[in-house]
Structure 1
């Protein structure tokens, strides 16, 4: 029986990742709906915390299209929305798909028509690689552009495909000496927002669940909360990294099921 079947009663808030835990971009993963339903019946609150560079409303619609009832969770916190809040009110450059841009502009992002000193980076176009951006990266660096990374994931599993994300582009920019402001997991601003949505419960009442060592687990370690690692996701087969102060996940499971 999975440790998720009989969690200690003290875990009243569950901060759950989406990609690799609840869905793979195309379908809900086996057992996810049943597990979320169990936690609802037990009176626990579930917040989805995702590094998606989109608005919470867009992610909610995606979950609905995949067949996930919105009664199974309290809300959604996205890296894109946290980053957008920091960028409102001034024009910035933009890097990402047309869909990313439309979604963020609907939330109030102002995209500069000409030169810019800040850049909102939501990701790469499908099929592109970091190497395709080398000239642009060098150009931004020469102007000391501040890159706001709205998705710190380096790759994501989209069905059978591994897709490069904005975090990989931000890494390359930092390697050139560029300045990057990061949003999403494992960074504190995202967790502050999530805990506020849940009325700031004590940390020993919070459990994080995710499939990312350097995002979900590192964020839980920084925050000082317990976590469960889902090993069937993006880091399948990889060894666990070392965390400060000897922190380790409470348990390792193959799936939410």
Structure 2
């Protein structure tokens, strides 16, 4: 049975590092959560290292800019690993060809900027769909529209045998009080149509390999001393399980309603509903709490 805790400090001495999800834990896309910032600052003051591990399709530098805009101070983290960077590595290794059709918004264009982690990166060009060898999806063209609006483009791509590189495996995210579709929803639809999607963010191994590389630049830490924190059962908690790491499930994010979080006076999840939800998702968590604090 998952252990419900009141604060990160209860278990902090058991871990030397934390892989921390951003959206739903540290901010909601509109504003930062001060309680989460305080908890991470305190963890670092006690010698803990914080890797912000996000399924954002953006490169690390772009995520850092976003954190500055949202008011998340540098004192709360040591380094950042994004699914965007993990996917970019694969793209520049030619995973879906060199001529690619981009599904995403103009704001996500930095995804295609040169990468310096490879000796001989492929030369990638974005082209119209009928000229493409593969697809790179950083998110829907319109995050408020059902992904099925892309069925025509995806059907054409499938008939041509194109692979789809998914820069963000999340299906949905909550921006403030509004739910939006992510690249994972497009990739899932493509698979359902018989296409091939390639994933590089949580819960898949490539992003954890990148996170370890980022962590080693700060301090060497063994997996048994790393705590994974996040609000996504299918991404954060399943990813931690696959990597053999302990997890802290933040129930007040994507699973707010399912876990009954906040309905009681203490803002914590209902124990029975929490267990039922994790059982339904088929992912055990080590710990749980309503909000990161």
Query: Do residues 119 (structure 1) and 135 (structure 2) align?
Result: yes
Alpha-carbon separation, structure 1, partners of 2:212 and 2:14:
16
Match for residue 155 of structure 2?
138
Q: How does 1:97-246 map to 2 (within 5 A)?
A: 97-100=105-108, 102-107=109-114, 110-114=124-128, 115-126=131-142, 127-199=144-216, 200-238=220-258, 239-241=277-279
Match for residue 119 of structure 2?
none
Alpha-carbon displacement from aligned partner over 1:60-85 (angstroms, at most 9, x marks no partner) = 01101111111321111111111011
Alpha-carbon displacement from aligned partner over 1:85-112 (angstroms, at most 9, x marks no partner) = 1111623221101111x21122458333
Query: Do residues 42 (structure 1) and 80 (structure 2) align?
Result: no
Alpha-carbon displacement from aligned partner over 1:216-236 (angstroms, at most 9, x marks no partner) = 000000000100000000122
Shift of 1:58: 0.4
The TM-score with structure 2 as length reference comes to: 0.82
Structure 2 stretches lacking a partner, 5+ long = 116-122, 259-276
Shift of 1:8: 4.5
Alpha-carbon separation, structure 2, partners of 1:201 and 1:243:
29
Alpha-carbon separation, structure 1, partners of 2:242 and 2:280:
13
Match for residue 33 of structure 1?
37
Deviates more, 1:51-60 or 1:25-34: 25-34
Alpha-carbon separation, structure 2, partners of 1:31 and 1:243:
27
Match for residue 249 of structure 1?
285
Displacement over 3 Å in runs of 4+ = 241-244
Alpha-carbon separation, structure 1, partners of 2:76 and 2:114:
25
User: Contact (CA 8 Å) 1:12, 1:43: kept in 2 or not?
Assistant: yes
User: Contact (CA 8 Å) 1:52, 1:79: kept in 2 or not?
Assistant: yes
Alpha-carbon separation, structure 1, partners of 2:54 and 2:29:
13
Structure 1 stretches lacking a partner, 5+ long = none
User: Contact (CA 8 Å) 1:218, 1:243: kept in 2 or not?
Assistant: no
Alpha-carbon separation, structure 1, partners of 2:223 and 2:184:
28
The TM-score with structure 1 as length reference comes to: 0.93
Match for residue 11 of structure 1?
15
Match for residue 65 of structure 1?
69
Aligned residues: 254
